[in-house]
Amino acid sequence: MKNIFAATTLLCALLFSTPGLAAWPGQMDAAIARNDFGRINTIAANNPGALGDIAMFLLQKARDRLPDIDAAAKIFLAAVPFIIHVPPGDAGQAAGILLAVETAAKETDFQQKDCRGAITILGAALTMSSVPNIAAAAPNLHADFLADANAALEENPACDSAELQNEVSLAQVPTVPTIGALGALTPSAD
């Protein structure tokens, strides 16, 4: 009798403690369809164990929406807070998706269709490429994205690019000191 009670209790705990785990992809799709990007944070807060999966889901959705620049940019931007949760085993795939989306955004035709969407994607890509798990999986990605962002700023002076200019400025600031041969702290960049 104790075993049945214990099994029933365990089953109830499993069923009622993780109701959102199976439902979050559908909830994300619904939020994206309604253009309710604030809801994504609520869904993520209700599914803290799925944050890496949520980041991958959003990156894939952004890539799939690339013909619709505005939608792709909004979804891509929504992935930024969750990218740090991508597990090392998926970081290479995430870096590949970042590269695909950023490559599309840096194209002249893409920027001429919607420079604001392109600038948003370039800034978000620059931010996400600096996260340790992505940087470890693709060490040169951040430098490449920084060069692309600088090029976009030069090629699109008429586009409101203050946000991207801020991202570029932040990307160029050395933030992590290294320890030199004698144990003294030295800046990580010249």
Tell me 87's DSSP state: -
List C-alpha distances in Å: 179 to 133, 186, 188. Answer: 22, 6, 9
Report whether 56 contacts 86 (CB < 8 A): yes
- Whether 7 has a pLDDT exceeding 70, the answer reads no
Report which of 164, 93, 174 is spatially closest to residue 133, judged by C-alpha positions. Answer: 93
Q: Which of 19-23, 160-164, 181-185 is modeled with the greatest confidence?
A: 160-164
For residue range 150-175, what is the model confidence (pLDDT) as tens digits? 888 888 776 766 666 667 666 665 55
User: pLDDT tier at 183 (50, 70, 90 boundaries)?
Assistant: very low
Report which of 23, 99, 40, 34 is spatially closest to residue 71, judged by C-alpha positions. Answer: 34
